[in-house]
Amino acid sequence: MPDSLSENSSTRRDRQLRRIAGHDIYFDHEGFFWAPEDWSEEAAVELSREMGMAELSEPCWQVIRFMRKFYFFHGRAPMNRDLKNGTGMSILAIEELFPRGIRLGARLLAGLPNPKACL
């Protein structure tokens, strides 16, 4: 039986329910959190392991926390210049922290929604 959030058949098709860090969480077809509020540090750690990362280093956490703080304050994900200014790291350094880069690595691990404009 569909839940109230999945009344639309395209919505049901595009969402996947997964058990991550002991919680049932919806993800989109690319693995992005359906709702940023479902994110937790434990979920980020588990997803990072799935990406092949042995651990999330302090610089990784700095990027993830900055992205979340920026998103919830501004209502959008930070652009590259925001990331650079907010973390004090170069974009190349941030890209290298995450095996799948900023979009599919940092943004996904930060629990931000899929950047539809990049699809």
Q: Is 60 marked active-site?
A: no
User: What string of DSSP letters covers 10-62?
Assistant: HHHHH-EEEEETTEEEEE-TTS-BSSGGG--HHHHHHHHHHTT-S---HHHHH
Q: Which of 1, 92, 118, 119 is catalytic?
A: 118
Query: What are the catalytic residues?
Result: 118
